[in-house]
Amino acid sequence: MGCARCVPLFVIRSPGTPDRPHGGGVHVSTAWAEAPYPVLVTDSVGDVVETNEAASHLFAQAGEDVFVGSLPDWLAQAHRRPTPAVGPPESASGTVAGRTFEAHPSPGEDGCVVWWLVENTDLHLAQQALQGERERTTILADISSALFSSLNVERCTEVTVRMAADHLANAAVVVAPAQGRRHSLTYTQVGGEVAHKTAAIDPRAVPGLTEALQGFPPVPTRWIDPGDIPDWAVPPGFTGPIGSVIVTPLPGYGMPAGVLILLRSSTHQAFSDGEEVFARLFAARAGAALSAARLYAEQASITTTLLRELLPPKLERLHGVEYAGIYRAAKDHERVGGDFYDVHPGTGDSKETFVVLGDVAGKGLEAAVLTGKIRSVLHALLPLSGDHKHVLTLLNDALMNSHHTRFATLVLASVQRRQGEVRIRLTSAGHLPPLIVRTDGRVEEAATSGTLIGALPEIHAQSTEVVLAPGETCLLYTDGITEARGGPLGDQLYGEERLRTALRECVRMPAEAVVERVQMLASQWLGGREHDDMATLAITTPLGGGGTPHLVGEHDDSRPHDREQ
Amino acid sequence: MTPYLPADLTVTVHSVEPYSLYLAIAGELDYTTTAQFTYEVNEALDSHRAQQGPVLKDLHLDWSSLTGIDSSALTALLLLHRRAHPEGITLHLHRQPAQMTRILELTGVAGYLTQDAPTVHPPGDSTPDEPTETDVTS
C-alpha cells in the first residue's frame, strides 16, 4: 500500500508522450525552453525555427549546423511523412552526436511541429548486446551439436577450425599436442579449404603457445604482437598483414587437447575483450569434444588390439588334412564370445596336429577373456599333447587356481595323416562328443567322455581314436548349434537329431562346405532369434585326385579297404 | 510365428524340516533364469538358516515340473554346490528331466554335484538326532 502511494512521485511524465497533443506552439514555449529534453520546432517546410537549450547543446556537440536550416535526415524524413488521420502521430528514431534518440512529434499551429527528442542510447546498446549474446548462444549451440556428433579426432579438429574461422576470426589454426617433437596443425580461413600439416615447430615462436599447450590460461590478446607470428602459424594463402591474434588453450579431460590460434587481418576490427571471452567459451567446447574423440580413439585402438588376440584363427589345409571352422558370436555385433577353437599344426607330416574346440560358460567379452587364457595355456602345453588326460589335468589345475566361477567344456583332437587316411585321437572334457560322417551316410558319435574343466578338483577323461577315410569328416561343435531355439513354432531346440540328419547329407563334402551347411541350417532354424555362441570345426580327409565328386566317391569306397588289407 | 518369450522360473518351498529342505523348481532353467534360480535358492537356504540355525544337511530339489533346460543351468548348479558344501549341505536331485541328466552326464559332474557334503560342526550346535550318520560320513 505504502509503495503504491509512493509510485506517482517517481513517475516522470514523458514529455514526448502526446498526452496533450494540441499543447504545442508558442504559448508553451517557455515551458519546454528549460525542459531537460532536446526540443525542436519545425515549420511546415521542415526548417528548424526554434530550439531549446538542451537541443542547442546537443547539436553543438554534434558539430552540425542543422538547427538553423534543415533537420537531420532521419528527422526530416519523419517530418515529411503525412500525419495520420487518427491516433497519435508516428515517432521516429535516429542518431545525433553518436547517441540515439526517439523523436516524438506534437503538431502545433500553422503546420508547425514540436519534436521532443528522448534519448534511448542505453536501451539501444542493451538491445544490441542482447542480440549479440543471442547470436553467440546460437553459435555455441551449433558448435556443440556439430562437434559432438563425431568421435573422429580429424573430423572434430576440422569442425573446430571451420567454425572458429566462420564465427570468430578471419583464419584459425588448431595446434594438436606434440607427438614426439612434431605437432599436427590444422588450418583454415573464411571460405577456404581445411589444410593439414604435421611439422616440427617451435611453440615458443608464438607468444603464449607453450603455456597454452600445457593448459595454462590464455595470454591476453593485447600482449601478442601480430608481427611475431611465424609463417607456420598462418594458413597457406592467408593474405595481408595480421591485425590481431588470440592464442587460447583447448581444455580437455585432465589434459590439454591442443591450442586454438585465431587470426584477424589488419583491415578487420581487432578482437575485443568480449570476443576474447567468447573465444574461450568456444575453446572450452571444442576442447571437450576433441578430448572425448581422442579418448575414444585410444579406447578403440586398445579394444582392437585385444580383440585381435581373441578372434578365432583362419583355418586351412595342413599336412594333407582339411580344416574349416566357423564361429558366430551370441550377439551378432560382437565378434568374440565364449566359444573358441585353435589348430596347432604339427612340425611335420609325421607329427600330430593338435586341435581344440571349446565353450566357456557365459557370453561376451568376459567369457572371451577366459577363452584367451585357456587358449594360451593349451598352446603352452602343446609339447604334452600326446597325453590328452595330462593336458586336461594341468589345464584344470590352472583354472581352479584362479578365483572366478567360470568353467569350460572342450574337445581335444590330435590329428595325423597316414597313407591316405586320417587318424584322430579325440578326448571330450565335458563337451558334446564329436560326430563322424562316414562315406556311407552313417553319422557316428565319438566314444569319448570326460569332466568339464575348471570346476571340479579331480577330473576324468576317456579318449577314443577314430579313422577317417577320404571324404569322411569329424565335426566338432558347441551346444550353441544344438541349443539353437527356433523352428516353426519358435520354441524348439535344434537338437542333436536334426544335426545328425543334416550331416548325413554332408557325405564327401569338403570341410568348408560341412561347417557352412551346419551353420546355415542352425541360423535358418533360429530365424533371427537370440542365440548362444555357435562354433563348428570340421576335420576332413580330402577326396583324392580329380574328376567329378560322384566318380571319385565310387573310388573312395574301395580305397580305404584296399589300404586296410 | 509365435515369438519365443523367456519363460518364467519358479522355486517353491515344499517342506521345511530342521535337517532337510525340499524345493520344487518349475518352468525353464536357462540363460535368462539362472540368476533368478541362484537368488531364490540362496534365499530359501538363508531363511532356513535364520529360522532353524545352521543345521541343514540335505537340500532336495524336485525337477518334475521343469519344462526346459540349457547348458547354463550347469553354472547355476555348480554355484549352488559351491555354496552348499562348505555349509555341510548335500544336494539331492529328484525326478530330473532327461535333458538335465544328459547335461550332467555329458559334463561329468553328476556324481560331483550330489556327493555327500563334509560334516560341519557349527559352534554350540548339539544335534542328538543323527549322531550315527555324522559319524559315518566323517
What CATH number does residue B115 fall under? 3.30.750.24
Confidence of residue A305 (pLDDT cuts 50, 70, 90): confident
Confidence of residue A17 (pLDDT cuts 50, 70, 90): very low
Would you call A291 helix, strand, or coil by DSSP?
A: helix
Q: B71 to chain A: which residues are within 8 Å by CB? A: 359, 361, 479, 483
Quick check: A178 pLDDT over 50?
A: yes
A309 part of a folded domain? no
pLDDT the model gives residue B135: 41
What is the sign, positive or negative, of the torsion defined by CA atoms of B78, B79, B82, B83? negative
Contact B107 A430 (CB under 8 A): yes
A6 part of a folded domain? no
**Å between A521 CA and nearest CA of chain B:** 18
A200 part of a folded domain? yes
Q: With contact defined as beta carbons under 8 Å apart, do A382 and A344 qualify? A: yes
Contact B78 A407 (CB under 8 A): yes
Do A406 and A468 have their domain in common? yes
Specify the number of domains making up chain B: 1
B112 part of a folded domain? yes
Q: Does A218 touch chain B (CB under 8 A)?
A: no
CB atoms within 10 A of CB B122: 13
Q: Spell out the residues 6+ positions from residue A18 whose beta carbon is closer than 8 angstroms to its own.
A: A88, A89, A104, A105, A106
Confidence of residue A46 (pLDDT cuts 50, 70, 90): confident
Do A543 and A403 have their domain in common? yes
Confidence of residue A4 (pLDDT cuts 50, 70, 90): very low
pLDDT the model gives residue A199: 85
Q: With contact defined as beta carbons under 8 Å apart, do B70 and A483 qualify? A: yes
ipTM of the complex: 0.77
Nearest to A409 by CA among B108, B64, B5: B108
Task: Say how many CB pairs under 8 Å bridge A and B.
Answer: 62
Phi, psi dihedral angles at A427 (to 5 degrees) = -135, 125
Would you call B105 helix, strand, or coil by DSSP?
A: helix
B136 part of a folded domain? no
- How does pLDDT run across A552-564, given as a tens digit for each residue? 334 444 444 444 3
**Final residue in a domain of this structure, among A304, A324, A345:** A304
B3 part of a folded domain? no
- How does pLDDT run across A531-548, given as a tens digit for each residue? 888 999 999 999 874 333
Locate A544 and state its grid cell.
583324392
* b/e A70-107 (16+ beta carbons within 10 angstroms → b): bbbeebbebbeeeeeeeeebebbbbebeeebbbbbbbb
A4 part of a folded domain? no
pLDDT the model gives residue A8: 39
Q: A362 to chain B: which residues are within 8 Å by CB? A: 72, 75
Q: Spell out the residues 6+ positions from residue A134 whose beta carbon is closer than 8 angstroms to its own.
A: none
pLDDT the model gives residue A68: 52
Confidence of residue B42 (pLDDT cuts 50, 70, 90): very high
Cα–Cα distance, A95 to A105 (Å, whole number):
16
Do A296 and A158 have their domain in common? yes
Residue type, A9: L
Specify the number of domains making up chain A: 3
- How does pLDDT run across B48-97, given as a tens digit for each residue? 999 988 899 999 999 999 988 887 888 889 889 988 998 999 999 999 99
Q: A479 to chain B: which residues are within 8 Å by CB? A: 70-71
Q: Which of B1, B2, B72 sits opposite A361 (nearest CB)?
A: B72
Domain with residue A208: its CATH number is: 3.30.450.40
Do A155 and A18 have their domain in common? no
pLDDT the model gives residue B126: 47
Quick check: A254 pLDDT over 80?
A: no
Do A113 and A148 have their domain in common? no
Q: With contact defined as beta carbons under 8 Å apart, do A545 and A534 qualify? A: no
B126 part of a folded domain? no
CB atoms within 10 A of CB A423: 15
Q: Which of A431, A490, A532 sits opposite B1 (nearest CB)?
A: A490
Q: Spell out the residues 6+ positions from residue A357 whose beta carbon is closer than 8 angstroms to its own.
A: A325, A339, A340, A341, A410, A411, A413, A431, A476, A477, A478, A535, A537
Locate A127 and state its grid cell.
538491445
Contact A483 B108 (CB under 8 A): no
Cα–Cα distance, A32 to A24 (Å, whole number):
9
B95 part of a folded domain? yes
Q: B78 to chain A: which residues are within 8 Å by CB? A: 405, 407, 455
Mean pLDDT of A266-288: 83
Q: Does A29 touch chain B (CB under 8 A)?
A: no
Contact B107 A459 (CB under 8 A): no
Least confident residue range of A12-16, A263-267, A402-406, A459-463: A12-16
Q: Which residue has the cell 579431460?
A: A253
A107 part of a folded domain? yes
Cα–Cα distance, B106 to B116 (Å, whole number):
21
**Final residue in a domain of this structure, among A93, A119, A145:** A119
Locate A66 and state its grid cell.
542543422
Confidence of residue B7 (pLDDT cuts 50, 70, 90): low
Least confident residue range of A21-35, A51-65, A200-214: A21-35
Q: B3 to chain A: which residues are within 8 Å by CB? A: 490, 529
Confidence of residue B5 (pLDDT cuts 50, 70, 90): low
DSSP string, B109-132: -HHHHTSPPPP---TT----SSHH
B111 part of a folded domain? yes
Q: Does B107 touch chain A (CB under 8 A)?
A: yes
Phi, psi dihedral angles at A504 (to 5 degrees) = -60, -25
A1 part of a folded domain? no
Do A371 and A270 have their domain in common? no
pLDDT the model gives residue A37: 85
- How does pLDDT run across A505-524, given as a tens digit for each residue? 989 899 999 999 999 999 99
- How does pLDDT run across A435-445, given as a tens digit for each residue? 999 999 899 99
Cα–Cα distance, B21 to B45 (Å, whole number):
8
User: Which residues lie across from A261 on neighbouring strands?
Assistant: A173, A247
Q: A361 to chain B: which residues are within 8 Å by CB? A: 71-72, 74-75
Would you call A458 helix, strand, or coil by DSSP?
A: coil
Q: Does B100 touch chain A (CB under 8 A)?
A: no
Quick check: A44 pLDDT over 70?
A: yes
* b/e A281-303 (16+ beta carbons within 10 angstroms → b): ebbebbbbbbbbbbbeeeeeeee
Residue type, A403: H
Do A282 and A395 have their domain in common? no
Confidence of residue A302 (pLDDT cuts 50, 70, 90): confident
pLDDT the model gives residue A561: 43
pLDDT the model gives residue A444: 93
Length of chain B: 138
Do A397 and A539 have their domain in common? yes
Strands B58-69 and B20-29: parallel
Mean pLDDT of chain A: 81
Residues 30-69 of B with CB under 8 A from A: 31
Confidence of residue A306 (pLDDT cuts 50, 70, 90): confident
Q: B108 to chain A: which residues are within 8 Å by CB? A: 430, 449-452, 456, 459-460
Domain that holds residue B100: 9-120
Do A279 and A160 have their domain in common? yes
Cα–Cα distance, A378 to A414 (Å, whole number):
13
Do A335 and A295 have their domain in common? no
pLDDT the model gives residue A547: 34
Q: With contact defined as beta carbons under 8 Å apart, do A422 and A468 qualify? A: yes
**Final residue in a domain of this structure, among A97, A119, A141:** A119
Contact B108 A361 (CB under 8 A): no
Confidence of residue A403 (pLDDT cuts 50, 70, 90): low
Q: With contact defined as beta carbons under 8 Å apart, do A390 and A354 qualify? A: no
Domain with residue A373: its CATH number is: 3.60.40.10
Do A333 and A365 have their domain in common? yes
Nearest to A461 by CA among A414, A416, A423, A426: A426
Do A296 and A319 have their domain in common? no
Q: A431 to chain B: which residues are within 8 Å by CB? A: 106-107
Q: Spell out the residues 6+ positions from residue A410 whose beta carbon is closer than 8 angstroms to its own.
A: A356, A357, A358, A359, A374, A428, A429, A430, A431, A453
A2 part of a folded domain? no
Contact A405 B78 (CB under 8 A): yes
Q: Does B3 touch chain A (CB under 8 A)?
A: yes
What is the sign, positive or negative, of the torsion defined by CA atoms of A198, A204, A205, A211? positive
Mean pLDDT of A288-316: 84
Mean pLDDT of A55-81: 72
Quick check: A502 pLDDT over 60?
A: yes
**Å between B116 CA and nearest CA of chain A:** 15
* b/e A452-486 (16+ beta carbons within 10 angstroms → b): bbbbbeebebebbebebbbbbbbbbbbbbbbbbbb
Mean pLDDT of B105-118: 89
Domain with residue A50: its CATH number is: 3.30.450.20
Confidence of residue A9 (pLDDT cuts 50, 70, 90): very low
Cα–Cα distance, A91 to A69 (Å, whole number):
21
Nearest residue on chain A to B72, alpha-carbon basis: A361
A219 part of a folded domain? yes
Domain that holds residue A88: 12-119
**Å between A347 CA and nearest CA of chain B:** 32
